[in-house]
């Protein structure tokens, strides 16, 4: 048998089959054990999970973030644009804000309401019921536009390049398998799968990185790194793709990532995703009955610190292997062929690395980890959608139903999300480069979320109606911009007519600059509306006011090692920026 075969051999297929069977058995055992402990179905445990150890929380946050858009999109953007998109991944420091700042607020509101909250719960309590309902609507729309369909689409590409499975077979197969897994596994199944796949994913990706560098350097990893940097420095007409900031207007990447505004734009999206998105926050809200506030916050915070360290890895797991793939495509005999002007080629960068770099047998093991990552990520989205629909729409309308009934409704909501994701995919496929599309959509949704959550927590003077106006108004402006992006091909198409001429400032403005100005506009609008609408009630203000007892619980929830570990995350992020500045 040729151990260095650039194709899947019988050993790889056997390992994949056996590995998936063993993982399915392990997840089944974990779910059944959890059900026995619960003594019956419980909607809250199904949707949120119970209080998990901090390292499981960290792994779950990491796994929930890692999806096929990383396996395909991040590696693809690494091959095409180098570290230009690294701002969106080098955000371990942003996850610390969730743990240190937002977890205490969310836990305080948990106590106020007497239950584990969803993000719409927070807005309903701080602003108006309409605001919370709109957040649920916006989040569900965002999941369909940026999560379910994108993950399935990129999963199809990954399977196409790695296993030679036709695109639609891979995409639909992934959705079907994940839907079945989510329906029967719930949050416990997602948590278990996350714990299993995380070490495989990390080890496998670093094998791809080091073996790729070793091949590029002809036996020397250090030489391979030098060769990769040299190849990427010569790309893009000599301006290179090895720096985070593109400040020269002549740089081909400047129109897309203009100067230092890229950091601010990425941070706005990061703040929304890591601190206010149900998909992520849900990982830290579970708790065990009778557990103290300090214990809940300590476990959640340490979970986010662990996730902060995990979040440093995707750059080296996916983006830099994409850069290595580009350098190898210039090397004869590597088996990797790529045209960086063709997004389909660059999107297949990581799959080509797995197929051509890893030895027989290891290909199968690593593929198992990647399949688990795809399923865990997509299952987490499905589960969050089920949570939002059940907790924020169905339960208020249909009270006093059995717990098994609510679980069933959550499963039915999952099926609806699957169908909507499939329906959107053909439209999405005609909207240009996948990773650019993904960040574009997020840049239109994030400003309203950031303004409403940040002002709602940090200002007692922002009124309920101001929050409602900010969320709905900001979202509608973003959707108008999305419509113009579709019509004008993201502002590149020549449009004729008075309307398009007089509104060119709206649809031609760089996407990052537009995002920043949209955030400023929403904040100013909320401040102005607050001047003319009734102030928040005493109860609403008290919801974001810490009592002396609660401040004591917060102080008891951390120690010096938590601080030191958090500073380590910040230092490592800073070191990366320094090296690739």
16 Cβ neighbours under 8 A, 6+ residues apart = 364, 367, 368, 371
C-alpha–C-alpha distance, residues 514 and 344, integer Å: 28
Nearest to 494 by CA among 476, 475, 508, 509: 508
Is the CB of residue 200 less than 8 Å from the CB of residue 62?
A: no
- With a cut of 80, say whether residue 126 has pLDDT above it: yes
Instruction: Give the model confidence (pLDDT) of 294-333 as tens digits.
Output: 788 888 889 999 999 989 988 998 899 999 999 998 887 7
The pLDDT value given to residue 333: 74
pTM: 0.83
Which of 31-40, 127-136, 505-514 comes out lowest in average pLDDT? Answer: 31-40
Mean pLDDT for all residues in the chain: 82
H/E segment holding residue 455:
helix 434-458
Half-sphere exposure (Cβ direction) of 87: Cα atoms closer than 13 Å:
24
pLDDT at 512: 92
Q: What is the DSSP string of 524-543?
A: HHHHHHHHHSPPPPHHHHHT
Burial of 402 (0-12, 13-18, 19+ CB in 10 A): exposed
The pLDDT of 352-357, averaged and rounded, is: 84
Structure confidence at residue 194 as a pLDDT band (50, 70, 90): low
Per the listing, tokens 């029967």 go with 184
Give Cβ neighbours of residue 297 (< 8 Å, ≥ 6 apart). Answer: 103, 104, 107, 553, 554, 557, 558
pLDDT over 70 percentage in the chain: 89
Rounded-to-integer distance, Cα 166 and Cα 295, Å: 49
What's the mean pLDDT in 554-562? 86
Residue 34 has pLDDT above 50, yes or no: yes
The pLDDT confidence band at residue 80, using thresholds 50, 70 and 90, is: confident
CA-closest candidate to residue 50, choices 179, 190, 178: 190
Per-residue model confidence as pLDDT tens digits over 245-297: 998 898 888 988 898 999 999 999 999 989 888 778 877 776 555 567 778 88
Backbone angles phi, psi at 461, to 5 degrees: -95, -15
Tell me phi and psi for residue 248, to 5 degrees: -90, 120
Distance CA(258)–CA(5), nearest Å, equals: 43
> Tokens 């994108």 appear where?
150
Per-residue pLDDT tens digits for 7-22:
677 787 888 888 878 8
Fold of domain 10-97+111-242+251-579:
Sodium/glucose cotransporter (1.20.1730)
**Is residue 397 predicted with pLDDT exceeding 80?**
no
The alpha carbon of 26 is separated from its chain's Cα centroid by a whole number of angstroms, namely: 26
531-550: average pLDDT: 84
* Angle (deg, nearest 10), helices 149-163 and 349-357: 30
Mean pLDDT of the region 448-467: 92
Residue 451 has pLDDT above 90, yes or no: yes
Annotated domain spans of the chain: 10-97+111-242+251-579
What digits encode the pLDDT tens for the residues 158-191? 788 777 888 888 888 887 777 777 666 666 666 6
Percent of the chain with pLDDT over 90: 23
pLDDT at 47: 47
Residue 566 pLDDT grade (very low, low, confident, very high; cuts 50, 70, 90): very high
Indicate if the pLDDT at residue 344 is higher than 70.
Answer: no
H helix or E strand, kind and range, residue 321: helix 320-329
Spell 17-55 as b/e; 16+ CB within 10 A means b.
Answer: eebbeebeeebeebbeebbeeeeebbbbbbbbbbbbebe
Q: Alpha-carbon distance 95 to 566, whole Å?
A: 10
- Phi then psi for 258, rounded to 5 degrees? -75, 105
Q: Between the CA of residue 513 and those of 93, 243, 260, 485, 507, what are the distances in Å? A: 23, 20, 11, 15, 12
| Tokens encoding 486 | 């579709």
Give the pLDDT of residue 229.
94
Geometric angle at alpha carbon 548, from 545 and 554, rounded to 5°: 85
Per-residue model confidence (pLDDT) at position 290:
58
State mean pLDDT over 476-495: 82
pLDDT band at 93 (very low <50, low <70, confident <90, very high): very high
Q: Taking 80 as the threshold, does the pLDDT of residue 99 lie above it?
A: yes
Q: In this predicted structure, what is the pLDDT of residue 517?
A: 94
Q: What is the pLDDT of residue 35?
A: 64
Cα separation, 536 vs 466, in Å, equals: 10
Looking at residue 431, its pLDDT comes to 67
Q: What is the pLDDT of residue 569?
A: 94
Question: Are 354 and 366 within 8 A, CB to CB?
Answer: yes
Lowest-confidence segment of 347-356, 441-450, 477-486, 523-532 by average pLDDT: 347-356
For residue 68, the model assigns a pLDDT of 64
Between 41-55, 268-282, 438-452, the lowest mean confidence (pLDDT) is in: 41-55
In this prediction, residue 507 carries a pLDDT of 83
Of 45-59, 103-117, 121-135, 446-460, the range with the lowest mean pLDDT is 45-59
Three-class SS of residue 429? Answer: coil
Short-list 130, 126, 144, CA closest to 452 = 126
Task: Check whether 369 has a pLDDT greater than 90.
Answer: no
Q: Is residue 184 within 8 Å of 198, Cβ to Cβ?
A: no
Instruction: Kindly report, residue by residue over 401-418, the tens digit of the pLDDT.
Output: 776 788 788 778 777 777
Q: Which residues, in sequence order, are CB contacts of 530 under 8 Å at separation 6+?
A: 461, 462, 463, 466
Residue with tokens 């990773």: 435
pLDDT class of 41 with cuts at 50, 70, 90: very low
Report the largest interatomic distance among the alpha carbons of the chain, rounded to a whole angstrom: 77
């Amino acid at each position: 048998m040729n151990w260095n075969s650039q194709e899947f051999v019988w050993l790889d297929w056997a390992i994949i089959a056996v590995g998936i069977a063993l993982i399915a058995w392990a997840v089944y055992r974990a779910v059944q054990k959890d059900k026995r402990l619960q003594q019956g179905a419980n909607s809250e445990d199904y949707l949120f999970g119970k209080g998990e150890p901090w390292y499981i929380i960290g792994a779950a946050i990491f796994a929930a973030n890692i999806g096929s858009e990383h396996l395909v999109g991040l590696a693809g953007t690494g091959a095409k644009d180098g570290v230009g998109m690294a701002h969106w991944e080098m955000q371990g420091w942003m996850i610390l804000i969730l743990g240190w700042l937002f977890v205490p607020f969310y836990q305080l509101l948990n106590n106020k309401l007497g239950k584990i909250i969803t993000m719409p719960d927070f807005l309903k309590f701080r602003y108006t019921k309409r605001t919370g309902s709109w957040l649920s609507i916006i989040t569900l729309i965002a999941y369909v536009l940026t999560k379910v369909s994108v993950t399935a689409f990129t999963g199809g590409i990954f399977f196409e390049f790695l296993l030679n499975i036709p695109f639609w077979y891979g995409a639909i197969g992934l959705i079907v398998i994940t839907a079945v897994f989510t329906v029967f596994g719930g949050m416990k199944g997602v948590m278990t799968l996350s714990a299993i796949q995380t070490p495989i994913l990390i080890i496998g990706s670093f094998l791809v990185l080091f073996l790729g560098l070793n091949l590029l350097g002809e036996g020397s990893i250090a030489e391979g790194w030098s060769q990769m940097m040299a190849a990427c420095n010569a790309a893009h007409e000599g301006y290179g793709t090895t720096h985070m900031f593109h400040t020269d207007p002549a740089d081909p990447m400047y129109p897309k990532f203009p100067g230092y505004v890229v950091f601010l734009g990425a941070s706005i999206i990061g703040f929304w995703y890591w601190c206010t998105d149900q998909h992520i926050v849900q990982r830290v809200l579970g708790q065990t009955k009778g557990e103290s506030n300090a214990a809940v916050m300590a476990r959640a915070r340490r979970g986010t610190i662990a996730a902060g360290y995990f979040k440093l890895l995707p750059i080296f797991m996916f983006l830099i292997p994409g850069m290595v793939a580009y350098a190898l495509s210039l090397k004869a005999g590597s088996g990797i062929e790529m045209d960086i002007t063709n997004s389909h080629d660059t999107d297949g960068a990581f799959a080509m690395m797995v197929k051509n770099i890893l030895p027989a047998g290891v290909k199968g093991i690593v593929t198992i980890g990647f399949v688990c990552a795809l399923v865990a990520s997509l299952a987490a989205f499905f589960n969050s959608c089920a949570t939002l629909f059940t907790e924020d729409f169905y339960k208020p309308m249909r009270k006093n139903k059995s717990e098994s009934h609510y679980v069933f409704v959550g499963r039915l909501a999952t099926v609806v999300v699957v169908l909507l994701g499939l329906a959107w995919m053909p439209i999405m496929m005609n909207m240009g480069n996948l990773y650019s599309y993904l960040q574009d959509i997020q840049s239109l949704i994030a400003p309203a979320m950031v303004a409403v959550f940040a002002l709602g927590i940090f200002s007692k003077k922002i009124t309920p109606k101001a929050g409602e106006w900010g969320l709905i108004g900001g979202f509608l402006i973003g959707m108008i911009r999305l419509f113009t992006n579709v019509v004008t091909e993201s502002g590149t198409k020549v449009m004729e007519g008075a309307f398009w001429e007089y509104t060119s400032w709206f649809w031609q403005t760089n996407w990052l600059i537009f995002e920043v100005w949209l955030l400023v506009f929403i904040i100013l609008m909320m401040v102005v509306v607050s001047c003319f609408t009734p102030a928040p009630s005493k109860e609403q203000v008290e919801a974001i006011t810490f009592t002396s007892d609660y401040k004591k619980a917060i102080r008891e929830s951390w120690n010096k090692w938590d601080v030191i570990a958090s500073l380590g995350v910040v230092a490592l992020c800073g070191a990366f920026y320094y090296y690739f500045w």
